[in-house]
Structure 1
Amino acid sequence: MPAPLDHDFGGRVDQVVDRAVEEERIVGAVILVARRGEILYSRATGLADRESKKPMAADAIFRLASVTKPVVATAALALVEAGVIGLDDPTTKFIPEFQPKLADGSEPVITLRQLLTHTAGLSYGFREAADGPYHRAGISDGLDQPGLSMAENLSRIASVPLSYVPGTGWGYSVAMDVLGEAMARATGATLPELVDRLVVQPLGMDDAAFVVRDRSRLVTPYADGPGKAIAMGEQHRVPFGDGAISFSPGRVFDPASFASGGTGMNGTAGDVLKLLEALRSRGGSVIRPETAAAMTTDAIAGLETTMPGWGWGLGFGVLRDPLAASTPQAAGTWRWGGVYGHSWFVDPTLDLTVVTLTNTAISGMTGAFPDALRDAIYGRQA
């Protein structure tokens, strides 16, 4: 019976990856598997750009989408440790004009903790139908509308009624964008400056940034298509759940685009691994062990998420019930991904960290490919 990380796991992973690339469901990927910080599997496969037949490289730079969230969450918790912000501070302490209301017109307090845990009553446009309130208000999820300012997007977010009373529910949302702005206002620095100083530089995440420092290494983005992945256009919508995700890959090159704390960063698989390993080893050089422990523990006990078996920590999903989640991962595993085609997880019972960055939305993030990759690592039979 195969076991997690047995001597055959790399061969099983190769089979999953080779099949996905051959079938053109995934154009290219970089995959890292580490145990106790030692890299046991490292592979760059497929193409960084299919049209020019440019091969994927280990140091390829990806638009990270929601892989941004744990980076910004770590920076936020470093500011909490420094006493600059408090998790129970009201958001209006830093952004006085951000005053979204409930459907009945009342204006509840939204705390920074609620932003961090997605319990603030906010939403994402991609979680709504095409005529939903976020679409009618023109709210950006942080992946589209190049040149849109933070001030304008905050105004649009605040114009839409909250989905529920803050603290009483969970909904994946633009909350990290709001949190990022609160962090910037609290310090007088920009969010990119804060993230660079508090997380990126201390961990040596050389290519992690809200800008692309070496465009020659930036992968070309692709999207799910009929039969095989297709090249992403400058304005591209990919169906997802009940709605669709709106992408503008060129957003990253427009300096007027707001720095999205939820989706705005770029970086390599190695950059992501450095962050996750720092958190797995209880904070590394960026946050205290007790802060890292709180970050990686379910922080919303008693609230249900839209993901069976999963709760939420201070920045990403935390596994409550492996059976309900239909996963071989152990309870306490933490994970998330990014809609440009990424998935990652840390199973602390095995001291296991896995990073998979692809250039294919959405197949690289959720569904058959990341599930098969995970099962191959654990030796789970299909």
Structure 2
Amino acid sequence: MLHRRAALTLAGGTALAAALPPPARAAHLARAEPAEVGLLPDRLARIPAWLSAEVQANRIPGAVVAIGRKGRLAYLESIGFRDREANAAMTPDAVFRLASMTKPIVSLGLMMLAEEGRVQLEYPISRYLPEFAEQRVGPNGEKPQRPTTVQDLLRHTSGLTYGLGDDPVARAYADAKLREKGITGPEFIRRLAGLPLASHPGSTWAYSYSTDVVGRIVEVVSGEDLNAYVTRRITGPLGMADTAFFLGERARGRVAEAMADSQTGRKPAMPDPAVRASFFSGGGGMSGTALDYARFCQMLLDMGHTEETRLATRHTVALMRANHLPPGIGYSADTPGRFGALAPTPAMGQGFGLGFCVRTEAGRNPLPGSVGDHYWGGAYGTFFWVDPAEEMYVVFMMQAPEQRLQTRYVLRQLVYQSLA
């Protein structure tokens, strides 16, 4: 089966309710028919038609799409296969590896500590992690013009990188074996802190391990491991019962899998959502469902609260979704090619906030959207955006790394053309 439609009605919603396990069903997520919130059903139908064609062409295994508008979940589609090789159909409660869609959740976790006065964004990160007190820039060990701050971590201007490429800094990252199996959080931080920065803090936007450092700061300041903290402060209060750094038996039989390569027969290397990792990666270690992430997006739309709980104040959420990149900021050489029209550059009319990209101008970006919309995605194919001007969020879940940019472009077009 390539296409499964989940019925959403205020009166019943029985098809959706029957598909979900009890913990997720119990959490509040108001629902509406698409037309009730200004989504045109005939135009929405283009989304599953497009995704079904992608499945049939063997470009993606399957996907789940959730759209909320005006405070209610109005659209939910599960298309294709949760596991193509096992011939298992995609379901609304499928578990996806979120990869970098972990970053907004962990960034919010740090901002909640900032609200309590326990973390200051302008402080050097060495105040919380002394391992970073002696950082140097480049292979020659130049002294930084200023220390890396917590704000630098949140906006990716820390001077850290992901160690890609073949320059001296990238080779130092490779030699440090930051992805070594079994590495612990403290050991990861010790190795990372000893590596040269690729640029002076605050001078260059470069996608990096910065949010992994944010996660470690959360652990040190809160006194809890990152999974326990995020569960207690964010996913638990929001009713995100199927989102965590490891899900154990809750993930069994529900994990969405990437397709095997047609040439080699191998699947991309991905972590098992059921298994506890040796350390919790704040930059990419969580797994979860589309409906859970919809709850997170609705909280962002509602400026930090739900009907049941408040996680953060409206001022904190406004600060997170403001552009924090200063005029004249540089960009790592791989930014345009890696992110395309979704890059946080002035050329694309975009910047970067505290945990995600934000649109700052109308007319520069070739993709539809609104000034103020904010978004991010994961390397395995997941993607979300929140558009306050349209009172809308969109969550897209798939596990097809090579198709992630293309699908994000098309989905943007198809969502906005469906607005009445």
TM-score, structure 1 as length reference: 0.86
Q: Is the 8 A contact 2:245 2:276 kept in 1?
A: no
Q: Is the 8 A contact 2:132 2:194 kept in 1?
A: no
Q: Is the 8 A contact 1:137 1:160 kept in 2?
A: no
**Match in the other structure for 1:222:** 258
Relative contact order (alpha carbons < 8 A, sep ≥ 6): 1 or 2 greater? 1
Relative distance call for 1:360 and 1:95 in structure 2 (3 A) is: same
Corresponding residue to 1:212 among 247, 251, 275: 247
- Aligned amino acid, residue 150 of structure 1: G
Say which SS state the counterpart of residue 318 (structure 1) adopts. strand
**Match in the other structure for 2:226:** 191
1:288 lines up with 2:313 in the alignment: yes
1:375 lines up with 2:413 in the alignment: yes
Q: Is the 8 A contact 1:341 1:360 kept in 2?
A: yes
Relative distance call for 1:29 and 1:116 in structure 2 (3 A) is: same
**Match in the other structure for 2:296:** 275
**1:101-134 deviations in Å (ceiling 9; x for gaps):** 1124315411111111111101113x42498335
**Match in the other structure for 1:244:** none
**Match in the other structure for 1:18:** 52
1:366 lines up with 2:405 in the alignment: yes
Say which SS state the counterpart of residue 110 (structure 2) adopts. helix
Relative distance call for 1:22 and 1:91 in structure 2 (3 A) is: same
Relative distance call for 1:189 and 1:105 in structure 2 (3 A) is: same
**Match in the other structure for 1:41:** 75
**Match in the other structure for 1:128:** 165
**Match in the other structure for 1:202:** 237
Q: Is the 8 A contact 2:251 2:274 kept in 1?
A: no
- Aligned amino acid, residue 263 of structure 1: G
- Aligned amino acid, residue 109 of structure 1: P
Corresponding residue to 2:124 among 84, 90, 96: 90
Cα separation, 2, equivalents of 1:378 and 1:97: 46
After TM superposition, the runs of 4+ consecutive aligned structure 1 residues lying more than 4 A away are 223-227
Relative distance call for 1:38 and 1:23 in structure 2 (3 A) is: same
- Aligned amino acid, residue 123 of structure 1: T
Q: Is the 8 A contact 1:34 1:40 kept in 2?
A: yes
Cα separation, 2, equivalents of 1:51 and 1:224: 8
Cα separation, 2, equivalents of 1:62 and 1:90: 35
Identity of aligned residues (%): 31
- RMSD in angstroms over aligned alpha carbons? 2.3
Q: Is the 8 A contact 2:78 2:91 kept in 1?
A: yes
**Match in the other structure for 1:106:** 143
| Structure 2 gaps, min length 5 | 1-37, 336-342
| Structure 1 gaps, min length 5 | 237-246
1:178 lines up with 2:213 in the alignment: yes
Larger fraction in helix: 2
Cα separation, 1, equivalents of 2:353 and 2:246: 27
- Aligned amino acid, residue 296 of structure 2: L
Q: Is the 8 A contact 1:301 1:311 kept in 2?
A: no
Cα separation, 2, equivalents of 1:266 and 1:274: 15
- Aligned amino acid, residue 287 of structure 1: A
Cα separation, 2, equivalents of 1:304 and 1:226: 39
Relative distance call for 1:346 and 1:315 in structure 2 (3 A) is: same
Say which SS state the counterpart of residue 44 (structure 1) adopts. strand
Give 1:359 shift.
Answer: 1.9
Give 1:215 shift.
Answer: 2.6
- Aligned amino acid, residue 298 of structure 2: E
Larger fraction in strand: 1
- Aligned amino acid, residue 341 of structure 1: G
Cα separation, 2, equivalents of 1:5 and 1:134: 51
- Aligned amino acid, residue 216 of structure 1: R
Say which SS state the counterpart of residue 351 (structure 2) adopts. strand
- Aligned amino acid, residue 282 of structure 1: M
Q: Is the 8 A contact 1:148 1:256 kept in 2?
A: no
Cα separation, 1, equivalents of 2:199 and 2:311: 34
Cα separation, 1, equivalents of 2:231 and 2:384: 21
1:68 lines up with 2:102 in the alignment: yes
Cα separation, 1, equivalents of 2:89 and 2:330: 42
1:150 lines up with 2:185 in the alignment: yes
Give 1:372 shift.
Answer: 1.2
Cα separation, 1, equivalents of 2:67 and 2:274: 31
Rg larger for:
2
Q: Is the 8 A contact 1:59 1:217 kept in 2?
A: no
Q: Is the 8 A contact 2:93 2:254 kept in 1?
A: no
**Match in the other structure for 2:31:** none
Give 1:90 shift.
Answer: 1.6
Say which SS state the counterpart of residue 137 (structure 1) adopts. helix
**1:146-187 deviations in Å (ceiling 9; x for gaps):** 422122322332232111111122111100001111111112
Cα separation, 1, equivalents of 2:117 and 2:125: 15
1:249 lines up with 2:289 in the alignment: no
Say which SS state the counterpart of residue 327 (structure 1) adopts. coil
Give 1:136 shift.
Answer: 2.5
- Aligned amino acid, residue 93 of structure 2: D
**Match in the other structure for 1:241:** none
**Match in the other structure for 1:239:** none
